[in-house]
């Protein structure tokens, strides 16, 4: 498989002009201007159409197209960071440029970094991967029920997203909101803005992404050590790796605020108060840079190779990067085989999107961070350009062979489709001339729809495949997206 795509990773906000400001290189890393030039002139879309000529774009063109104010990139080759650059603006309407040290919210990339801290506590004998988490929890307990009577929730299952726990992700808290404690979050009691985290199926039975589970992991770590989570992760992971521009502090301190990029909505408006606060620190709370994410990736790969023990032993790093359930190890998402084996994660917080990928057998990888809800598609296009320049194995746009659909027949697919759980999705399908388009404000920028089969479609910008379902009369009544409950048509 060339690349994995997800609904949460799909997305595309306002750049002040159609050309990006000059890049700001990192003074700490060597520069490769020729390679940088080829990458920033060689962005490519998620999909290529069979028989059509290859199309590439400049970074400035795609930042304007996706309406993304700022982006930061770090690239690793031969096991070292070869360049790191920032483009665009921290905040629209200012001259405050993004550089390689600009802070972004890592969102769900927080999870694998936090997992490396949890695994270090396992190595120290303070935790065990297969012990029930309630044996460690002091300030809160996970309620037992018939599911937990048969199988237990453990750190291994939590970190690999198969513990049977609820709550996919978190919207965070605006600057004017009250912020709950972690026990309040886990019980879904005010001022928490998400449901209670509970077991609703047998632990170990299915693979289901749960930020709620990772928040339990966070509480286990702080209950056992007695240390605040930001200080704990600084001691266990960030300082040993040399992640000097990273921290789990929530909210971000006033001293670091000028270093941070403000988050933007799909309509180009700044997130209220510049960004949200995430008390779900292990799941979504890391502030960092692409360079620091690559330092972490390099260190985990070195531990797996047996050449470093700054954070984990070779045995533990190998287990971390071994599939536990479907595509997850103990924290990272995994893909590829042989030389193409890679680990990483994506991230989607309010106003921020990021992607991180590393190939340990090749010593190659990259991280891309953006300050826009529209940044996922741009990040992927940048990664494809980097992959082409640095010859990543089995990583690139996917070729499709769409079928022709009569323009008049497209009207049958037009409408509004929605689902409310486990999170709200509101998709609109519209016909413009002889083409069909789909849009979902949170996850899918407006993009053309191509058909791979009569009812099977693909979103051209994101590469997300989905199907149109029909009722007994043959009328389109739902959209089916892998991993998401059906989106029912509004009547």
Average pLDDT, integer, range 314-330: 96
Q: What is the pLDDT of residues 152-167, one digit of tens each?
A: 999 999 999 999 999 9
The encoded tokens of residue 97 equal 């440029």
Residue found under tokens 């992991």: 217
What is the pLDDT at residue 7?
38
Query: In which band, very low, low, confident or very high, does the pLDDT at 31 lie, cut at 50, 70 and 90?
Result: low
Cα–Cα dist 167/209, whole Å: 8
What is the predicted pLDDT for the residue at 295?
98
Residue 377 phi, psi (nearest 5) = -65, -40
pLDDT (average), residues 115-139? 98
In this predicted structure, the answer to whether residue 422 has a pLDDT above a threshold of 90 is no
- Whether omega for the bond prior to residue 315 falls within 30 degrees of 0, making it cis, is no
What's the rounded Cα separation, in Å, for the pair 355 and 353? 7
- pLDDT, mean of residues 260-289: 97
Q: Which pair of structure tokens corresponds to residue 16?
A: 């002040």
Per-residue pLDDT reduced to its tens digit, 383-406: 999 999 999 999 999 899 999 998
- At residue 20, the pLDDT reads 42
pLDDT of 21 higher than 80: no
Backbone angles phi, psi at 222, to 5 degrees: -75, -35
Region of 20 please: left (phi>0), alpha (psi -120 to 50) or beta. beta
219-238, pLDDT tens digit by residue?
A: 999 999 999 999 999 999 99
Tell me, what's the pLDDT at 424? 83
Which of 9-13, 112-116, 443-447, 471-475 is least confident? Answer: 9-13
Distance CA 222, CA 219 (A): 5
> Where on the phi/psi map is residue 214: left (φ > 0), alpha (ψ -120 to 50), or beta?
alpha
Mean pLDDT of the chain: 92
Domains and CATH numbers, the chain: 105-390 (3.40.710.10), 407-489 (2.40.128)
184-208 b/e (C-beta count within 10 Å ≥ 16 → b): bbbbbeeebbbeebbbeebbbeeeb
Are 386 and 366 within 8 A, CB to CB?
yes
pLDDT of 38-97, one tens digit each?
Answer: 999 999 988 888 888 888 999 999 999 999 999 999 999 999 999 999 999 999 999 999
For residue 28, count other CB atoms closer than 10 A to its CB.
11
**CB neighbours of residue 409 within 10 Å:** 11
Q: Which residues contact 99 (CB under 8 A, 6 or more apart)?
A: 24, 26, 72, 85, 86
Q: Out of 108-112, 168-172, 484-488, which region has the weakest mean confidence (pLDDT)?
A: 484-488
Provide the pLDDT for residue 440: 87
Average pLDDT score over residue span 141-149 = 97
Res 25 pLDDT > 80: no
Q: Quote the pLDDT of residue 446.
A: 84
**pLDDT score of 14 more than 50:** no
Alpha carbon distance 271, 249 (integer Å): 19
CA-closest candidate to residue 65, choices 451, 449, 447: 447
Phi, psi of 114 (to 5 degrees): -65, -40
> Residue 1's pLDDT band (boundaries 50, 70, 90)?
very low
- For residue 491, the model assigns a pLDDT of 67
| Structure confidence at residue 30 as a pLDDT band (50, 70, 90) | low
E strands, 188-293, are: 287-288
Please report the pLDDT score of residue 443 as a whole number.
Answer: 72
Helix (H) or strand (E) holding 149: helix 146-150
Residue 487 to residue 439: CA distance in whole angstroms: 13
Q: Residue 107 is encoded by which pair of tokens?
A: 């969102």
Q: What percent of the chain has pLDDT over 90?
A: 84
Can you say whether the dihedral through the CA atoms of 200, 204, 205, 206 is positive or negative?
A: positive
Q: Among 189-198, 408-417, 441-450, name the one with the lowest average pLDDT.
A: 441-450
């Amino acid at each position: 498989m060339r690349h994995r795509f997800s609904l949460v990773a799909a997305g595309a906000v306002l750049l002040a002009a159609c050309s990006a400001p000059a890049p700001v290189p990192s003074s700490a890393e060597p520069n490769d201007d020729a390679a940088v030039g080829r990458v920033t002139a060689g962005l490519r879309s998620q999909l290529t159409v069979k028989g059509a000529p290859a199309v590439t774009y400049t970074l400035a063109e795609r930042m304007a197209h996706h309406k993304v104010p700022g982006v930061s990139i770090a690239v690793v080759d031969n096991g070292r960071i070869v360049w790191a650059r920032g483009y665009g603006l921290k905040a629209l309407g200012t001259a405050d440029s993004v550089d390689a040290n600009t802070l972004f919210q890592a969102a769900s990339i927080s999870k694998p970094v936090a997992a490396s801290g949890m695994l270090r506590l396992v190595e120290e004998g303070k935790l065990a991967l297969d012990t029930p988490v309630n044996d460690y929890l002091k300030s809160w307990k996970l309620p037992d029920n018939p599911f937990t009577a048969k199988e237990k929730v453990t750190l291994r299952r939590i970190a690999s997203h198969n513990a049977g726990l609820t709550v996919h992700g978190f919207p965070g808290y605006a600057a004017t909101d009250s912020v709950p404690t972690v026990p309040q979050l886990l019980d879904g009691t005010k001022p928490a803005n998400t449901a209670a985290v509970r077991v609703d199926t047998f632990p170990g039975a299915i693979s289901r992404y749960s930020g709620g589970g990772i928040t339990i992991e966070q509480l286990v770590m702080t209950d056992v050590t007695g240390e605040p989570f930001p200080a704990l992760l600084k001691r266990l992971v960030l300082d040993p790796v040399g992640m000097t521009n990273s921290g789990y502090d929530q909210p971000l301190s006033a001293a670091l605020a000028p270093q941070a990029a403000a988050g933007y909505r799909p309509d180009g408006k700044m997130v209220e108060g510049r960004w949200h606060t995430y008390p779900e620190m292990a799941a979504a709370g890391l502030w960092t840079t692409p360079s620091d994410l690559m330092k972490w990736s390099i260190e985990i790969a070195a531990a797996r190779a047996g050449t470093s023990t700054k954070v984990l032993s070779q045995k533990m790093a190998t287990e971390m990067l071994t599939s536990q359930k479907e595509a997850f190890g103990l924290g990272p998402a995994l893909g590829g085989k042989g030389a193409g084996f890679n680990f990483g994660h994506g991230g989607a917080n309010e106003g921020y999107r990021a992607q991180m990928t590393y190939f340990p057998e090749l010593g190659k990888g990259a991280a891309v961070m953006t300050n826009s809800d529209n940044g996922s598609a741009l990040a992927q296009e940048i990664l494809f350009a980097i992959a082409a320049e640095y010859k990543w194995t089995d990583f690139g746009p996917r070729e499709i062979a769409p079928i022709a659909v009569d323009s008049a027949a497209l009207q049958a697919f037009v409408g509004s489709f929605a689902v409310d759980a486990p999170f709200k999705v509101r998709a609109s399908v519209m016909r413009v001339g002889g083409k069909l388009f789909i849009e979902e404000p949170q996850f899918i920028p407006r993009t053309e729809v191509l058909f791979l089969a009569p009812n099977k479609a693909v979103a051209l910008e994101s590469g997300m495949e989905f199907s149109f379902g029909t009722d007994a009369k043959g009328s389109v009544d739902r959209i089916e997206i892998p991993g998401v409950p059906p989106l029912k048509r509004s009547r």
